[in-house]
Structure 1
Amino acid sequence: MRPEMITALTALAVALVTAAGGIATAVIGRRQPRRAHRRDDFTVITDRLGQHIERLERRLDEQEQESERDRARITAQDFTIRYLAAWVRSLVSYIRSAQLEPPPPPQPVPAEVQPYLHDVGL
């Protein structure tokens, strides 16, 4: 499972637990003496819980859309990086086939990048 999906499911679980707790509280509160103001409080609480659940559902939908956009952007970036790495490899092999030495990188190569550039000789 992807982290975005786990986050979305966690948010949904929290919303459901919150709703269940609110409903249980409302039911327990309703069992006390049935006066008019208590009934009014119950409807207010129910309305607020409904609004809260709707707000959580909207946030969940927004997060799902945002994760889709992020996923598409990361896919495009992955393709771009693969393309550039292949291009650099072909340039290095062309330079070496001409019995020249490719120029050094403009800055020190980070340790995280080195495993992906092993065949370029950087």
Structure 2
Amino acid sequence: MNETVTIDIQRASQLLKLLGDPTRLTMMQLLKSHECCVCEFVEIFNMSQPAISQHLRKLRDIKLVKEERKGQWIFFSINKSHEDYSFIQSILEQLPKQDESIEKLEVQGLRVCCE
């Protein structure tokens, strides 16, 4: 049963602006079903670590993603308890899955390259 939850226009606009960046939108789609660390995103997006960290900081600042320290590494996941998760989820459900990016990392032996 899908419960319709409305959010105000200002909040929706803020979220859509944040997710309007293709890198952040793809990150959210990946995090929907996979925990990832910065080094994995560096490989997936072929971007520098500081650029990836900047994208993640923006998502973390409004609590769309959460982080968990495992040893010296930090893994990110989507925050399913976020007040606007149902809104975000409805957007992500319209997008193609990104599992192939994770599968490529696994084939290359880079899936958890930071452990």
TM-score, normalization by structure 1? 0.26
Higher helix share: 1
Q: Which has the higher contact order (CA 8 A, sep 6+)?
A: 2
Higher strand share: 2
TM-score, normalization by structure 2? 0.28
Specify the structure having the higher radius of gyration (Cα): 1
